[in-house]
Amino acid sequence: MVGYIRKVLKNSSVDGPGNRMVIFLQGCQFNCIYCHNPETIPVIKSDKEGTLKIMTPSDLVAEVVTYRDYISGVTISGGECTVQFDFLETICQKLHENKIHVLIDTNGDLSEINLKKIMPWVDGFMLDIKAVDPIDHKKLTGKSNEQVLKNFELMLEANLLFEVRTVIIPDESNSAHTVLWVSQKLAEKAPYTRYKLIAFRKHGIDKSKTDASSPTLEQMNYYKNIVTKAGLKNIIVL
């Protein structure tokens, strides 16, 4: 078995707690209008252009282990890392066996069976909830959010939700509805979970997909107030 890896970042302070190695796997089943890394979307099974690293789970984990004294843990991201599920599961298991802290950065669109398979090997999930309204979600990503919202509940119940993120794009979706829904759910069960509100920005996106404007500072404060009023204690606005 091999994995198709877009990039490995040896040091990151923004992808989870502490200094983290971040592994970006190729491929995503969504096609978000605001994706900043559209080159990571195609699911690739061979690398004719030589832009990817192709590695076995053992080789990748051996590389991580050589850095273990310099990092707090590993965050596995994408694209959408769960698209290469068997590879992901194997590296998570091996990292866990090596006692390395593992976070999964995901859009949440994986089957319940796969989610339950991977849970024993990870320390937490960083989950994107792009929209709660199904029509908005389809418009933003091209796909349904049914499984994402189910998995949100399962991650909450398992106490494995490290962070939730929502990109604020009021011109294209009902961001207030999403922010309120997520905040109320988190406030009820896990009010110390970090909720990150990310202002939509145009740089790096495929501009043919949207001509939406970035939210203003006042708008971002409005969304932050929704979260605060719901009772969440850990809010980040970017």
**CA 194: distance to chain centroid?**
13
| Interaction mask 134-173, ligand SF4, x per CB under 6 A | -------x--------------------------------
Element (H, E) at 24: strand 20-25
Instruction: Locate 158 and state its tokens.
Output: 């398992």
**For ligand SF4, which is the closer residue by CB, 95 or 140?**
140
Q: Is the omega angle on the peptide bond into residue 108 within 30 degrees of 0, that is, cis?
A: no
| Interaction mask 61-90, ligand SF4, x per CB under 6 A | -----------------xxx----------
**For ligand SF4, which is the closer residue by CB, 141 or 145?**
141
Q: Under rule CB under 6 A, which residues in 166-185 are in contact with ligand SF4?
A: none
**For ligand SF4, which is the closer residue by CB, 93 or 141?**
141
How many C-beta atoms surround the C-beta of residue 208 within 10 A? 7
**CA 190: distance to chain centroid?**
19
**Closest approach of ligand SF4 to the CB of residue 167, in Å:** 8
CA-closest candidate to residue 149, choices 117, 107, 113, 89 = 107
Count of residues touching ligand SF4 (by CB under 6 A): 13
**For ligand SF4, which is the closer residue by CB, 107 or 178?**
107
Among 107, 145, 173, 183, which residue sits at the site for ligand SF4 (rule: CB under 6 A)? 107
Q: Where are the alpha helices (DSSP H) in 50-209?
A: 57-66, 85-97, 112-118, 134-141, 146-157, 175-189
**For ligand SF4, which is the closer residue by CB, 31 or 219?**
31
Sign of CA pseudo-dihedral 231, 134, 207, 11: positive
**Closest approach of ligand SF4 to the CB of residue 228, in Å:** 26
**Closest approach of ligand SF4 to the CB of residue 81, in Å:** 10
Residue 70 buriedness (CB in 10 A; 0-12 / 13-18 / 19+):
exposed
**For ligand SF4, which is the closer residue by CB, 33 or 179?**
33
- What separation, in Å, do the N-terminal and C-terminal C-alpha atoms of the chain show? 38
Q: Under rule CB under 6 A, which residues in 29-48 are in contact with ligand SF4?
A: 30-32, 35, 37, 40-41
Interface contacts to ligand SF4, rule CB under 6 A: 28, 30-32, 35, 37, 40-41, 78-80, 107, 141
